[in-house]
Structure 1
Amino acid sequence: MSTGAIAGIGTDLLRVERIERIHARHGDRFVRRILGPEEQVVHQRRQARDPRRGILYLATRFAAKEAFSKAIGLGIHMPMTWSRAQILNRPGGAPEIRLSGPLADWYAVRFGQAHVSMTDETDMVAAFVVIEALPPGPHSKEDIA
C-alpha cells in the first residue's frame, strides 16, 4: 500500500573507475563485502559472460545502497550494512530493494515501501531512492516512540 508521503530521498553518482580500482585491489573480498548472497550469484554470472558487465553490476549496486542509506538517514552505520540491503530485479526487470536481518526489522517499524532507480553509462553510474512513510496505524513510528 502506498501512502504517497515521502519519508526520505537519497541519490548517489559514482565513477565506474573507482569501483574498478577497488575491485582490482581487493577482488572477491570486496564483492562479498558489498553484495548480499543473491546479488553475488547474479554478479558471478555477469562477470563470467563479460567482466565489464560484472563491474557495472557491482557499481550500480554500490550506488543504490549508498542512495538507500542516505534516504533512511543512517549512512553505512548499524543496522545498515552493505549485504543486508540487496538490489535485485523483479521478474519484469524492475529493481527492488530487499532487506534482511536487523536492518529489515529496523526498517519495518519506520518506513513504508522503498523505490529504487539505477542507470549506468560507460564511466558513470547513478542511483535514486525514494522511501515512503508508513501508513497511519499501529506500526507507525509515532506509536512506537
Structure 2
Amino acid sequence: MGSGSIAGIGTDLLRVDRIERIHARHGGRFVRRILGTDEQLVHARRQARDPRRGILYLATRFAAKEAFSKAIGLGIHMPMTWSRVQIINRRGGAPEIHLSGPLKDWYDARFGPAHVSMTDESDVVAAFVVVENLPRDQA
C-alpha cells in the first residue's frame, strides 16, 4: 500500500447462482450494464473458452464494484455507475481499479490509491477494497 491512511473499506460476498440467474434472464444487456468496455472484451474471451469462467468473471467484477462503492461511501449512486469502474488485471495477474468519466474526477478530488482483492469458489465470490486518503500534500 501507499503511505496514505485508510479512508474507506468495502467488502462484498455474492452467491454465483444469483449472477447466473440474472445473466440467463438478461444476457448481453446485463453484461453491458455491469462491465466497462475493457472488461467486456475479457469477459467475451473467457465466456467463449468456458461459460463458467465467464460467469465467475462477471460475478467477481460485480462483487468488486459493490465493495468499491461501499469503500467510497456512495453505493450505486451518481457519479458511481457500474461501467465507470473497471477491474483490470495487471500483467502479473493482480487486479487493479480503473475509473472513468465523472466518477474519476469525483474520486481523484477526494481519495488516494484504491486496492482490490477478489476470490471465487464454485458457489460464492468475495471482494475486498481498501481506499486510501489523499496524500497530505494533495489534500
TM-score when scaled to structure 2? 0.98
For each residue in 1:105-138, what CA deviation from the matched residue of structure 2 results, as whole angstroms up to 9, or x when unmatched? 000010000000000000000000000111112x
Q: How does 1:82-97 map to 2 (within 5 A)?
A: 82-97=82-97
Secondary structure of 1:57's aligned partner: helix
Aligned to 2:65: 65
Aligned to 1:99: 99
| Cα contact 1:63–1:126 (8 A) shared by 2 | yes
- Can you give the 5+ residue segments of structure 2 that lack an aligned partner in the other structure? none
How far residue 3 of structure 1 moved from its aligned partner, in angstroms, is 2.4
User: How many angstroms apart in 1 are the aligned matches of 2:67 and 2:3?
Assistant: 21
| Cα contact 2:4–2:134 (8 A) shared by 1 | no
How far residue 28 of structure 1 moved from its aligned partner, in angstroms, is 0.2
| Cα contact 2:4–2:112 (8 A) shared by 1 | no
User: How many angstroms apart in 2 are the aligned matches of 1:4 and 1:132?
Assistant: 6
Q: CA RMSD in A?
A: 0.9
| Cα contact 2:64–2:127 (8 A) shared by 1 | yes
- 1:6 equivalent in alignment to 2:6: yes
| Cα contact 1:9–1:131 (8 A) shared by 2 | yes
Aligned to 2:49: 49
Aligned to 1:123: 123
TM-score when scaled to structure 1? 0.94
Secondary structure of 2:45's aligned partner: helix
Secondary structure of 2:86's aligned partner: strand
% identical equivalent positions: 82
AA matched with 1:88: I
- Can you give the 5+ residue segments of structure 1 that lack an aligned partner in the other structure? 141-145
AA matched with 1:54: G
| Cα contact 1:3–1:133 (8 A) shared by 2 | no
AA matched with 2:109: V
Q: Which stretches of structure 1, 4 residues or more, deviate above 3 A after TM superposition?
A: none
Aligned to 1:31: 31
| Cα contact 2:63–2:125 (8 A) shared by 1 | yes
User: How many angstroms apart in 2 are the aligned matches of 1:100 and 1:43?
Assistant: 19
